[in-house]
Amino acid sequence: MAAQTDFAGLTRPRGQLDLATALQPYRGQLDERLAAHLLRRAGFGGSPDDVSRYAALSVNDAVESLVRFPSTGSITPPEEIYDVGAPQPMSAMDGRPPMKRAKIVRREARQALLALQLWWLNRMLSSQAPLQEKMTLYFHGHFTSHYTLRFPQITYNQNALFRRYALGNLRELTRQVSNDPAMLIYLNGAQNVAAHPNENYARELMELFTLGVDHYTEDDVRESARAWTGWRVDRRSAQATFDPQLHDNGAKTFLGQTGNFTGDDIVNIIFAQPACARFFAASLLSWFVYNNPESELVDGVAALLRKHDFELAPVVSAILRSNVFYSTRAYRALVKSPVEFTVGSYKVLGLSQVDEIALPALHQMGQELFNPPNVAGWPGGQNWLTSGTMIARQNFLTQLLNSQTLTQSSWLEKLPVQTRVASQTLVTTILQGDAAPAALYELDGYLSGAGSAALAALSTENYGQRISGAAYLAMAMPAYQLN
């Protein structure tokens, strides 16, 4: 069979995927490459110990351990988010000029945002339920909204909502997020009243969140907007309330049905459309498997969604167990987002905590949590890899791989002081061997000091500097940019 070489320099067999059996359970055994693949897609990667542990499991046991979230009790947000906009600090600023007060509020809001970002990044790194955090990130980019200035509790509450429904019911989550204060503020639902319907949320609900373009009309947008009227947000209490006096109680005709519909009715009608199941099926396949999935594959996942009444747990479980998930077509087929790249780097090095250097790095890479560019979210895919963002990735690795990191890593400081063995261990542990021959040659040369009078071969005297530099070279390789 002919072979093809991809972006990462990996050679793969060329051939058509057998779509008839693509969603059937994979009967092969996990090895370290496939275990690492599963941990990257269903989480943010794994430490060397994590990969070895999963490689010893069957596919069923490995997936089962990921889809069954351990009970962790209540989750406490960072203390900083409670201080912003509180009555006491605000009243204390009453005597200050308006511009000075506004500057203080903006600074405190920015500090709360950074605290919230760092808190979530560390949950991604340390959670015993990595798939729960991965799905929270998925919904954060799917049901997009923006950080709520001065009222970060509203933003945190939406994040907690996504976490609660990580593998829950898509229909119910859509219902809940429609009346969520963060969404009501972001898409003007809190200004949507019977006398002056606001169509922003009604449009994006169908176009970006559930159906896609060409599956509704402008009349459907107008009628849906009427059904969503009456919701209000108390920003101080971070709660949404429904005011029946502001709701349009008239008959509405939406997607071919007529009645005195509320927002809940709109969601039910949308989820009864065949296009809805296909929309989410394509989205989930693009998140977990590969971009632009075949129509037959989309139909198969859509059928699973309908069969399970839009409960995500059995559908995601089926995807993670499937032939297509472990196929060569899917392996390292997705570009890591900046968040995946960053958290995954801490993971693979065996580090226990994401530090503050990650926050400006993520901004420079193009993905600042709670601050998407627009309602469509981050474009993703190849858009993550530009000359500027690649430099930002390299700069982040340079900062991360310092001498202190070396002493904190559970395995990096224990590599043998032998050029070829150290080189092979780095590539095996960081990339599961997925490196082009030319990249391996460059890494060997770096550790041996070949071709450079300024660099001596790896030794006990220069161990920290050279191993950190070699780890950087491995993590800068094309394959490391891919999930």
Q: Is the four-CA dihedral 431, 437, 440, 442 of positive or negative sign?
A: negative
* Pair (352, 293) in one structural domain: no
> Is 252 inside a domain boundary?
no
Which one-letter DSSP state was computed for residue 193? B
**pLDDT (0 to 100) of residue 101:** 57
Q: The whole model's pTM is what?
A: 0.91
* Pair (373, 438) in one structural domain: yes
* Pair (304, 402) in one structural domain: no
Q: What is the pLDDT of residues 282-340, one digit of tens each?
A: 999 999 999 999 999 999 999 999 999 999 999 999 999 999 999 999 999 999 999 99
> Is 231 inside a domain boundary?
no
Determine the average pLDDT of the residues in 163-188: 96
Q: What is the pLDDT of residues 36-83, one digit of tens each?
A: 999 999 999 999 999 999 999 999 999 999 999 987 666 666 766 654
Mean pLDDT of the chain: 89
Which of 321, 356, 386 is the endpoint of a domain? 321
Q: Comparing C-alpha atoms, which of 229, 202, 210, 133 is closest to residue 171? A: 210
Q: Comparing C-alpha atoms, which of 160, 176, 379, 155 is closest to residue 267? A: 176
> Is 217 inside a domain boundary?
no
* Pair (347, 439) in one structural domain: yes
* Pair (290, 375) in one structural domain: no
Which of 258, 286, 321 is the endpoint of a domain? 321
Q: Residue 213 class from Cβ within 10 Å (0-12 exposed, 13-18 middle, 19+ buried)? A: exposed
Measured CA to CA, the distance from residue 109 to residue 255 in angstroms comes to: 41
DSSP string computed for 220-250:
HHHHHHHHTTTEEEETTTTEEEE-GGGS--S
> Is 235 inside a domain boundary?
no
**pLDDT (0 to 100) of residue 403:** 61
> Is 241 inside a domain boundary?
no
> Is 109 inside a domain boundary?
no
Measured CA to CA, the distance from residue 255 to residue 266 in angstroms comes to: 9
**Alpha helices per DSSP H over 272-351:** 274-288, 295-307, 312-321, 338-349
DSSP string computed for 358-370:
HHHHHHHHT--TT
Which of 262, 295, 321 is the endpoint of a domain? 321
Which one-letter DSSP state was computed for residue 405? H
Contact 172, 165 (CB under 8 A): yes
Rounded to 5°, angle at Cα 283 from 29 and 370: 105
* Pair (359, 432) in one structural domain: yes
Domain count, the chain: 2
Q: How many CB atoms lie within 10 A of CB 370?
A: 19
Q: How many CB atoms lie within 10 A of CB 184?
A: 23
**pLDDT (0 to 100) of residue 92:** 45
pLDDT at 406 over 50: yes
Distance between first and last Cα of the chain? 25
> Is 377 inside a domain boundary?
yes
Determine the average pLDDT of the residues in 368-372: 94
Measured CA to CA, the distance from residue 370 to residue 385 in angstroms comes to: 21
Give buried/exposed letters for 414-452 (b at 16+ CB in 10 A, else e): ebebebeebbbbbbbbbbbebbbeebbeebbbbbbbeee
* Pair (476, 374) in one structural domain: yes
> Is 106 inside a domain boundary?
no
pLDDT at 8 over 60: no
* Pair (476, 342) in one structural domain: yes
**pLDDT (0 to 100) of residue 109:** 77
* Pair (352, 477) in one structural domain: yes
pLDDT at 4 over 80: no
**pLDDT (0 to 100) of residue 86:** 38
* Pair (362, 314) in one structural domain: no
* Pair (301, 411) in one structural domain: no
Domain interval for residue 36: 16-68+274-321
